[in-house]
Every structure is written in C-alpha cells, then in structure tokens.
Chain A
C-alpha cells in the first residue's frame, strides 16, 4: 500500500488569525468582576445573565435527572445475569458513562429492574412482588429472548414473556444480548424517560396508581 504524506504547512497555520488577546476566558473573568462590583449595567448585564442561565421546564429537568441516575436492582435470574453483571459491574463496559452503574440490592432504593434470564412460573410471583416494592417511577428492561418470550425454554415450567405479569419498557433481544445491545437498551430507556412523562406504562394501560387495569374495568 502506498502511503502519501502531506507536508504540514506551518506558515498557513500560523497565518490563521489568532484569537484576539483580550478574548475568551479573560474577558469573562473581567466581566464577572465587574458584575460583582455592580459596575455592569444595561445590555451588558442582560448578556451576562443570558450566557449563564438555562431555561427549561421543571418536568424536563426532572426527567433529565432521572434518566442520568438509574439505579438497577441487583437481581439476576439465569445465564443472562452473568452478562448483565459484566455490563453493569465491569469497567470494560463502564455503564457509569450513562449514570446507571450504582446497583441497589433492595427494591426500595432501585428504579430499574433488569429481567436477566428465563422467568419460571415459580419465580414470577416473586418478581412481581419485587416490582411492586420498587418505588415510583420505575422501569423494567426485559433482557434476552427468554424473559421476552420464553426463548428456547418454551415449556411447562417457564412463563412465555415476562410482560404477562409486569409492564415492560424495553425488550433487548439476543441469547444472550451483546453488552452493547444491553447498553443500547438502557440508552433507549433513557430516551424514553427523557421523551415521555414518567407515566409511561400507566398511559399505555390507562391505569392509575400501581394497578394495571383501569379502575372501572
């Protein structure tokens, strides 16, 4: 393979207009000084304030905070649990980048339930109880083929799809899913938290409180 090297034209770089000496950081420092002394007034003062403030709705700010501090429940069901641990717990995948690495080992402090593995009919009521113990707002990710649809364990002992007894927000396919896939699922959930008001599943089921059926039905 032929490699061509381009000579870097030092003169052209040097000829680019440098930032004016009194710009950037220094100007902002001086302006802040003036502001504190009370010397800033009129249009200057308005500009100063506009630069430093962000206006948003309370709900958006709340969702933003929720999205960036998901607390997954330390809970595994089967082989996918090992994969989940490598995503949540390992520095290689580093879920801390997305603010979801703090595992809570009690449902009272967690707000994300990752169903990692097949759900047997004996386990289903226990999972439902864990879910009911979690505080609002709460979200559920169904990780892998088994939790989503019984997968290869399509038999008498396994619930075909955990959405039969819990509302699920994000389904991650795979057997097991790649770590990237689970991270993508978590990011999709973050998008969902950010985009929707936190009543997501209640709207879907026209429900109130923790009941999934409308009160009248």
Chain B
C-alpha cells in the first residue's frame, strides 16, 4: 500500500485531472490506502489510475459489493487495484444509494470486471451502465431479489434446536 502521504498525492493527482469533486475522501487504515470517489467519477478516476498515472495501476484484482444498511447511501462498491511496478495495492471505494444504484461499468478498462460486476449486480442489485452482458451470474436468471442485501430474508427452513423448540412447535408436520 502507498503510505498516507503517497495516498494524498494520488488523491490530489486524481482531483487535478478528473475533477475537484471526483474524490470524496481518503482513508489510511491499518496500512490499507483507500481512495473514496464519487459514483459518477468511478470510470474516469480508474481510467486515470490505469493509464494516466506514472507507474500506473494496471491490474484490477477484485470488485466487491457491500451493504452498509443503516447508513446512507447504502451500497458500497470496492475496486482493488494492483500495480506490479510499484508492487503496491490501492483500494478505490464508492457508494451508491438504493434509489438509483447505478455505476459506470469499467469492463472497457479492465476485462476482468465483467464477471465481477455481474456478481455485484446479482447479489446487491447495483446496475453497471455500459456492461456488455448485464445478466445474473450465480443465481438462476428468473430469481427475484438480490440475496446479499441485508434486508433480504435469509431463506432456508427453520431448524429445531433446543433454544427455539417452543418457537417452532410441531415443526415436523
């Protein structure tokens, strides 16, 4: 990870090239450098980091979704970048709300984002604009709902344990 100063320098370069409001914050926590960007600036910020930065961040290692339910905006999407030249990693995080969970797709920059954005869509319902194949990837195509959202029911069937045996009377019927 870049150190805290290096992170601020990266953030300033992104601000200079992409726009002042593109970077909403930085955090350096337990050795992990995180650049927080605005949702509509994700594509241009990642494009700058991949192509414009000196010693560019060429590899996208992972795209995650995350649901911070009581907070607003609710969904987080995390991009983890790796630079082999720096031998270093950088997190790029963004947040979108439940009303309009849309993000620009980065498949044109990083082909590996294809399946991972599909998975984030499948599990959290975040829509990636410009994705070449925006289908579900893990759940059946006719599945309703986005199961990793925190307000999605767990599913399954009640199981009888000793602590809940009076909650499910005659569960075997």
Seen from chain A, the residues whose Cβ lies within 8 Å of a Cβ on chain B are: 121-122, 150, 153-158, 160
Classify the interface of chain B: helix, strand, loop or mixed. loop
User: What is the bound-complex CA distance between A155 and B157, given in angstroms?
Assistant: 8
14 contacts between A and B (CB under 8 A): A121-B139, A121-B140, A122-B138, A122-B140, A153-B156, A155-B155, A155-B156, A156-B152, A156-B154, A156-B156, A157-B138, A157-B139, A158-B156, A160-B156
Q: Is B56 an interface residue (CB 8 A)?
A: no
Is B157 in contact with A156, judged by CB distance below 8 angstroms? Answer: no
> Is A156 a contact partner of B153 (Cβ separation < 8 A)?
yes
Contact of B156 with A154 in the complex, beta carbons under 8 Å: yes
Nearest-neighbor residue (CB-CB) of A122 within chain B = B140
In chain B, positions 139-155 with a C-beta closer than 8 Å to chain A are 139-140, 143, 147, 152-155
How many interface residues does B have (CB within 8 Å)?
12
> Does B87 sit within 8 A of A, measured CB to CB?
no
Q: Which of B140, B143, B147 has the most CB of A within 10 A?
A: B140
What is the CB-to-nearest-CB distance from A125 to chain B, in angstroms, rounded to a whole number?
A: 9
Chain A contact surface mostly: loop
Q: How far is the CA of A158 from the CA of B138 in the complex (A)?
A: 12
Q: In the assembled complex, how far is the CB of residue B123 from the closest CB belonging to chain A, in whole angstroms?
A: 11
Cβ–Cβ < 8 Å partners of B154 in chain A: 155-156
Complexed CA–CA distance, A156 and B157 (Å): 9
B140 and A156 within 8 A (CB): no
Task: Provide the residues of chain B in CB contact with A156, threshold 8 Å.
Answer: 147, 152-156
CB–CB A122/B157 < 8 A:
no
Specify which chain B residues have a CB less than 8 angstroms from the CB of A157 in the assembled complex: 138-139, 147, 155
Query: Cβ of B140 and Cβ of A160 under 8 Å apart?
Result: no
Q: In the assembly, what is the distance between CA of A45 and CA of B83, in Å?
A: 93
When distances are taken between beta carbons in the complex, the residues of chain B under 8 Å from A153 are 156
Is the Cβ of A154 less than 8 Å from the Cβ of B157? yes
Structural contact, A154 and B159, CB atoms closer than 8 A: yes
Given A121-B139, A156-B154, output 13 extra A-B contacts at Cβ < 8 Å: A122-B138, A122-B139, A150-B156, A154-B156, A154-B157, A155-B155, A155-B156, A156-B152, A156-B155, A157-B138, A157-B139, A158-B156, A160-B156
Contact A150 B140 (CB under 8 A): no
Which residues B118-173 have CB closer than 8 A to chain A? Answer: 138-140, 143, 147, 152-157, 159
